[in-house]
Structure formats: structure tokens, C-alpha cells
Amino acid sequence: MVSVNEPSEGLVVGVDSGGSGLRVALAEAVSGTVLETVSSREPVRTGGGGISAGHFLEQVLPAVAALRDRVGARPVLAVGVGAAGMATLGGELRAELPGAFAEAWGVRRSVLAADAVTAYAGALGQRPGVVVAGGTGLIALGTDLTSWRRADGWGHLLGDCGSGAWIGRAGLEAAMRAHDGRRGGSAALLARAEKLFGPAAGLPGVLYPRTDRPAVLASFAPEVGRSAATDPVAAGILARAGAHIAEAAEAACPAEPGARVALTGGLFKMGEPLLVPVRDALGELLPQARPVESAGDPLAGAVALASAVASGTLRLPEDASLLRVFDAGLA
């Protein structure tokens, strides 16, 4: 007779928490097949103790209760959480979530990870390689299954080179150069900037007071992409972005031949204007690597981590700030 606590009879919970909100999935423990999902547009708050565990649980516990009502009364065997800021702001989450999950659902094992790790697990699973996650910011994360290597992800002032914010800022600089009559300007990008933000001379007043400057900068990146086919300045910006992205991948990629390289995140929805220079640069810098399509998103990665710890098959390396497994010690 199979126990109800066996993975074949149980469920896992995956949570993806980021700057634009929170997503929760309920999945089969063994296969990782997602049964139901729910999402919230309310990001988890950050306070003096880092990411708020209380606010996280206020959203996740009712969401999982509703999902379990729809799926049926089956045990939750493990939980996988990926959160933006986990590496530096996740102390409260690591201190409180495993116990809260154990109390709420009788969960024995929890895995808490940085969102870059769940992006990796979603894209490549538990295989060695490197994943570049690009959106407003950009980070490359690689592993040989022994340790992790990170490149960039340092924010729009110190890095995130090739990211949406980087591309948008470079495009707006080219617009302002055209406005001034300086070399390197783009009349096409100037026209698009003024359509989006108003007269060029007023752009500093529009941009500088904003607390969400990286997102505002990134909002102009698609305009650079749309201009690239006919504007050599825009095309040059994307070529430089492609080089930066490949450099980050090279820095984080394991040395062994055949390591997989995947791209994930909203940045790459820009399509061929960006992907062509990225592929060209990867071919030059990582000729020994194997480019592959991303298999899934960070929510799929959170589910995959939960499924792996439920079945005792986790191969991705633990790390004090990037990936921690917690055992509540329950039977």
C-alpha cells in the first residue's frame, strides 16, 4: 500500500515573487506538472528587515488554500520559492517561511532561492550551463553543479549592461545628441523619444525625479528595437548590448565543452534586432557552448526545485544566499 506521503500521491507549491507581483502554482510532486496557478499584481513589500515574510504569507497562504480546494485534499510535500532580492534581502523569508509552511500544510521540505536561480532552473533544469536573465536589469548565472558563478546584476548605475534599462538609456542619449547636434545622435530616436516623453529639453525633468528610473529607461528599449532596421545608431546600440550580454554569459559559463547557454526574460521578446547580435557575440566568445531554447520561466523553475527536493533529486548546488533547502523535521 502506498502512503499518502509518498511523492506519487503528493503535490508541490511553486512561488515566483518579483517586482511586478507574485505567482503561485500547484503541481504534481513527481512530474512537476502544473495543475493550477494564481497570480497577484501586488509585489511583496520590503522593509527594514528585508523582504516582508508577513506580507508574503498574507498573499501565498490564501492563494494555496484556494488552489487546494480546486485540486482536492492531497498533501503538500514541498515548497519552492524564488524571490527577487532573496540573496541580499531574504533573511526574514529564510527565518520565517519554512516554519510557516510546515504549520500551514505540514510541509517537511522547503527550498528558497534567488529569482536568478529559479530562472536558471526553469530554463535549463538541473544541467550545467549558464542562463542570462534579461528584463529591466540583467544577470548571468552559471553552474557546473558544484558551485554557482554570477556575472552582472549590479543595477542600472553600476552594471546591468545590455539590459532594457541600458538599451533605453543609450537610446535616449542618442536622442539628446541629435537634439544638441552632437555626433552620434539619432534623429529617429529623438522623434520617438519626444513622442513618448514630450519635448527633449524637458526629459531630465521627466526622468530624474522618478523613483522607478530603471523601468522608465527600459520602457524606451522597444523603441530602439523598432528603429534598428533603418537607423544605424539604434542598430549599433543593440550590437553593443549583444556584446555585453555575451560577455556576462562568458564570465558565468562553466568551462567544460558543451555547456548549455539559454536566454530568458522579457528583454529577449525584442526579437531578432537583439537576438541576432547576441547570437553572433555568443558564437565568438563561447564557441564551445551549446545554445538552447529556454524550457520554462521562473515559476516553472520554482516548481522544478520543489519537485526535486520532494523526491530527493536536487542536483543544483546549495549556496548561503542563492539557494537554501530547509527541513522542518516532520515525519
- Whether 76 and 12 have beta carbons less than 8 Å apart is answered as yes
Task: Count CB neighbours of 287 within 10 A.
Answer: 8
- Whether 14 and 306 have beta carbons less than 8 Å apart is answered as yes
Is 12 in a helix, a strand, or coil?
Answer: strand
pLDDT grade for 8, boundaries at 50, 70 and 90:
low
Task: Count CB neighbours of 157 within 10 A.
Answer: 9
pLDDT grade for 212, boundaries at 50, 70 and 90:
confident
Question: Could you tell me the pTM of the whole model?
Answer: 0.86
pLDDT grade for 6, boundaries at 50, 70 and 90:
low
* 22, burial (CB in 10 Å: exposed 0-12, middle 13-18, buried 19+): buried
Nearest by Cα to 235 from 180, 293, 177, 189: 189
pLDDT above 70: percentage of residues in the chain: 97
Give the separation between CA 233 and CA 166, rounded to whole angstroms. 15
Using the structure block, give the residue that is written with the C-alpha cell 511553486: 14
DSSP 8-state code for residue 322 = T
Q: What is the pLDDT of residues 223-259, one digit of tens each?
A: 999 999 999 999 999 999 999 999 999 999 998 888 9
Cell numbers standing for residue 244: 555585453
Give the separation between CA 156 and CA 136, rounded to whole angstroms. 9
User: Residue 117's pLDDT is what?
Assistant: 95
Q: Where are the alpha helices (DSSP H) in the chain?
A: 53-71, 86-89, 91-105, 115-124, 164-180, 187-197, 203-207, 213-218, 221-227, 232-252, 272-285, 298-311
Using the structure block, give the residue that is written with the C-alpha cell 562553466: 254
Using the structure block, give the residue that is written with the C-alpha cell 521627466: 206
Name residue 139's beta-bridge partners. 133, 152
Give the separation between CA 30 and CA 28, rounded to whole angstroms. 6
197-221 mean pLDDT: 92
Cα-trace Rg, the chain: 21
- Kindly report the backbone phi and psi dihedral angles of residue 31, in degrees, each rounded to the nearest multiple of 5, phi listed first: -85, -20
User: Residue 4's pLDDT is what?
Assistant: 40
CA 317 to chain CA centroid, Å, is: 18
Instruction: Give the list of residues 6+ apart from residue 48 with CB closer than 8 angstroms, or none.
Output: none
User: Residue 95's pLDDT is what?
Assistant: 92
- Whether 163 and 280 have beta carbons less than 8 Å apart is answered as no
Q: What is the pLDDT of residues 14-39, one digit of tens each?
A: 999 987 788 999 999 988 899 999 98
